[in-house]
Amino acid sequence: MKDQIITKKILNWYDLNKRSLPWRKNVSQSKKHYYTLVSEFMLQQTQVKTVIPYFNNFVNKIPNLKKLANVKDSKLMKCWQGLGYYSRAKNLKLTAKKILIEYEGNIPNNIQDLKKLPGVGEYTSQAIMAIAFNKPVIPLDGNVERILKRLLYLKKINEVSKNYLNKKKKIFGKSKRASDYAQAIMEIGALVCKPIIPSCQICPLIKNCKAYKKKDFVLKAKNKFNKTKYFETNIYKHKNKYLLIKNKKFNFLKNLIIFPMREINKDQFKISLNKKINVKMSNMNMKIIINNNKKKKIIKDSFMLDKSNINRYAIPSFTKKIFNSISNFS
C-alpha cells in the first residue's frame, strides 16, 4: 500500500512538472525506440540541456536505425561534433549494425540481449527497457541514487554502493506506466532533489524523506580523480592554412582531426619556455606545449586546412581550443 502511495505521488508530480524533451515526443513505436536509443547514448556522461540541440540535429540528419547503420563516419562525427566521448558515436553505429543483422532491425526488449550491444551497459540497458518498452525497471542513474540516499538516509560506505542501492530501488514499487514512472523518478532527481540545494518544499516525497526530517542533505562525496598528462603539439602554418592529421596514435579522439602531437613527461613540460595551454577532457587533464614550426614535416594522414573552413569538418572541441590559442602565430 505504501509503495502505491509513493508511486501515485511521483506520477502526479511528473504529469504536472515534466520537461518537454524531444525524445519524449508522442511518436510511432519504432521512432520512440530509436529516439530512446540515441538519447540514452548521448546522455551517457552528458547533461540533458547540452544534449537537446545535438539530439535534434542528429535525428534530423540520421532519422532511423537503418540510416544510422549505413551512415558515413565523416557524417556521423560531424553530427556528434562537440558532444565529446566520441567512442559513444562509434558504438552507436556498431549497435545499429548489430541490431539490423542479428535482430532483424528491432531493438532487443530484454536486458541480456541489450547488454550484448556495443556501448550498452547495465544502466543503458535498464533505461531502454523502461523508457522504450514500458517494462517495470528503475534505471539507477545519479538522480535515482541521490533520491534513494536522502529518502532512506543512507550514509554508510556499504549503503551507498551500487549493489546496495539497486536492492533498495524496490521502495519505489511498480506502475503500469513504467516508462513514465522511470522518467518521473529521474526527473525529480534532476529538478527537485538536486545535489547541493534540494527544493524540498515542492518534492512529492517530502513526507517520506528521512534526510528532510533530519535536515541533513549532505551526500557522501565520490572521489573523482582525473590524471594529468603532458603533450607537445607542433603547429605548421602556411598562407593561413594549418597542418592537421587524422589521429591514429592516441586512444582518445581516435580517428578525429588533431594537430600533430606527442606525449611527454612532466619535467619536459616544465622546462619548456613555449606557449602552454590546459585542456580538460572527460577522463584526463591535458597540459600542452605549443610549438611554432617553420618547416613542414611530411606526416602520414596529414593535410592543410584553412581555419575559415573549420566548421566543414568533424573537428573536436579539443582541436578548436588549440586553434583559438594560436591566433597570434605567424
Question: Which one-letter DSSP state was computed for residue 110?
Answer: S
Determine whether 40 is an active site residue.
yes
Three-state SS at 12: helix
Amino acid at 148: L
Cα(122)–Cα(199) distance, integer angstroms: 29
Q: How many CA atoms lie within 13 A of 121 on its CB side?
A: 6
Compute the chain's Rg from CA coordinates. 23
Residue 87: strand, helix, or coil = helix
Nearest to 77 by CA among 66, 88, 67: 88
- CB contact at 8 A, 179 and 11: no
Task: List phi, psi (to 5°) of 85.
Answer: 45, 60
Q: Would you name the residues annotated as active-site residues? A: 40
